[in-house]
A = this chain, B = another copy of it.
Amino acid sequence: MKVDDLKALLARVQAAELTIEAALAELAELPVRDLGFARLDTHRELRTGAPEVVFGGGKTPEQLVAIVAALAERGGNVLATRVSEEAAAVVLAALPAAKWDKLSRVLLVEQQPLVDNGRGTVLVVCAGTSDLPVAEEAALTAQLFGSRVERIHDVGVAGIHRVLAERARLEAAEVIVVVAGMEGALPSVVKGLCSRPVIAVPTSVGYGASFGGLAALLGMLNACAAGITVVNIDNGYGAGFAAALMNRRRA
Contact = CB atoms under 8 A, between A and B. Distances in A.
A118 interface: no
A210 B206 contact: no
Interface stretch (A89-97, A105-113, A219-227): A219-227
Scoring A35, A160, A205 by chain B CB atoms within 10 A of each residue's CB, the highest score goes to A160
Interface residues of A, number: 107
Given A164-B160, A197-B242, A229 B227 contact: no
A226 B215 contact: no
Given A13-B13, A27-B35, A222 B226 contact: no
Nearest to A49: B195
B50 A245 contact: no
Interface in A1-51: 3, 6-7, 10-11, 13-14, 16, 20, 23-24, 27-28, 30-33, 35-37, 39-41, 44, 46-50
A33 to B, nearest CB: 3
A11 B231 CA distance: 52
A238 interface: yes
Contacts of A47: 171, 193-195
